[in-house]
């Protein structure tokens, strides 16, 4: 079966688990496989009984595997939400990164793997003109269900290249929002807030991985305020 995607892919392992898109691609979603080893994860994503897939898998030694044609809707996001979109699968490219995850011995992502993820993400973002605030993790779009790619994923690497939102640095200003106002601002950034604690934890896992306690504090408020100022349509409303 001929499938098309990034020229960076050096292995093709087709998955039957896809259907037609109903939305244009505006998002890139990062996952970890969360299985004991890479071959098992790849076999599962290619198994029709699994009912799950991704467009790409990146192995620990930096191999990039193409599994679903980019024109098709891979089944990687599940029940999810980001910036008003509930059919995230239709609007996104999904990258699965080989890592056992929190259940099987979560560990740092090797340099070769992160280099390949960075190159692949750069290629996809450029071709689809994806905004940095729409390059997110599975935990961002499904905070009550998922933790991947997790607090060890090198988001700062993508942030420094402008591919994803960068963790704000320098002098941060606490806007002293109430918790309710913080949650509304979190929703403005993109998160579903129906499970408030899960949403806060997902935000912390992404932007303050050193303390994922689910508690809204001054640092969280200041980080979120600074992040929103990076989003043109929100910052324009403040001026």
The answer for residues whose C-beta is within 8 angstroms of residue 36's C-beta and 6 or more apart is: 100, 104
The structure tokens listed for 91 are 């609007």
Check if 96 is active-site.
yes
Q: Which of 49, 71, 96, 219 is catalytic?
A: 96
Residues 6 or more apart whose Cβ sits within 8 Å of residue 10? 63, 64
- Tell the burial category of 59 from Cβ atoms under 10 Å away from its Cβ (0-12, 13-18, 19+): buried
**Is-contact 125 136, C-beta < 8 A?**
no
At 96 the three-state DSSP class reads: strand
Give 32's contacts (C-beta < 8 A, 6+ positions apart): 96, 97, 98, 99, 101, 138, 148, 149, 150, 153
Name the E strands within 55-174: 56-58, 64-66, 72-74, 92-97, 135-137
Prior bond to 149 cis, omega within 30? yes
* Rounded distance between C-alpha atoms, residue 115 and residue 25, angstroms: 23
Active-site residues, by number, are 96
């Amino acid at each position: 079966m001929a499938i098309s995607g990034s020229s960076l892919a050096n292995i093709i392992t087709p998955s039957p688990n896809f259907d037609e898109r109903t939305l244009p691609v505006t998002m890139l979603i990062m996952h970890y496989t969360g299985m004991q080893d890479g071959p098992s994860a790849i076999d599962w994503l290619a198994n029709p009984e699994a009912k799950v897939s991704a467009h790409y898998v990146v192995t620990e030694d930096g191999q990039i595997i193409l599994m679903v044609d980019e024109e098709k809707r891979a089944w990687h996001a599940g029940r999810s939400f980001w910036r008003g979109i509930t059919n995230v699968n239709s609007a996104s490219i999904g990258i699965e990164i080989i890592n056992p995850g929190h259940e099987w011995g979560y560990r740092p992502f090797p340099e070769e793997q992160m280099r390949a993820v960075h190159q692949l993400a750069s290629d996809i973002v450029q071709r689809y003109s994806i905004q940095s605030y729409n390059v997110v993790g599975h935990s961002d779009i499904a905070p009550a269900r998922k933790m991947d790619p997790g607090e060890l994923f090198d988001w700062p690497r993508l942030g420094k290249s402008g591919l994803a939102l960068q963790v704000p640095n320098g002098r941060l200003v606490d806007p002293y929002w109430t918790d309710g106002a913080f949650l509304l601002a979190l929703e403005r950034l993109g998160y579903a807030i129906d499970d408030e604690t899960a949403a806060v934890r997902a935000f912390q896992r992404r932007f303050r991985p050193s303390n994922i306690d689910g508690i809204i504090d001054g640092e969280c408020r200041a980080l979120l305020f600074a992040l929103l100022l990076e989003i043109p349509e929100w910052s324009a409303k403040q001026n």
